[in-house]
Amino acid sequence: MIGKIKKRDLKEERISQILFPIFTLALIGLLLISNLKINQKRAKLTEKTESLKKELEILEGKKQKLETGLSQTEKESYWEEKIRQEGYVREGENPVVILPSKENPKEKVVENQKLSEKFLAKTKDFFAGLVDPVRNFWNKLFQ
């Protein structure tokens, strides 16, 4: 009987000697995997915080511009300039009207379009002239 108990104890000890390191390695593996996942999340969050900081700086700059624009619109000189741009004058002032030039601006637009069409035609001719010699060269090379 004592021999049977010793054999059982030996079997249990061997099983525990085998299972304990396996469980320990499994636990270490789980901890490593969770650590890696946490590090990945941390990296994503730091990238996100950096992008949000940049966006915050941009928005603060826009806010500053808007505040300066708002303070500028509160000044009387700003509104006077705007009103004068609309064509209003103060009492006692003589308005001066500058007439447009005698040349028709539509003619200039047509001339500019003709120039651009000429330019495009010349560039097409230029590149078409380059394609033929290159094609001939390659044909001679591979024949």
Mapping DSSP onto H, E and C, the string for 118-129 reads: HHHHHHHHHHHH
Please tell me the pTM assigned to this model: 0.41
- With a cut of 50, which residues of the chain have pLDDT below it? 1
What pLDDT shows up at residue 106? 57
Q: Is residue 20 part of a domain?
A: no
Contact 72, 78 (CB under 8 A): yes
Q: What is the pLDDT of residues 92-133, one digit of tens each?
A: 877 777 776 666 555 555 566 676 777 777 787 777 777 677
Give residue 125's domain range: 111-143
Q: Is residue 15 part of a domain?
A: no
Q: Is residue 18 part of a domain?
A: no
Q: Is residue 125 part of a domain?
A: yes
What's the structural domain count of the chain? 1
C-alpha span between 92 and 86 (Å, rounded)? 18
What pLDDT shows up at residue 3? 53
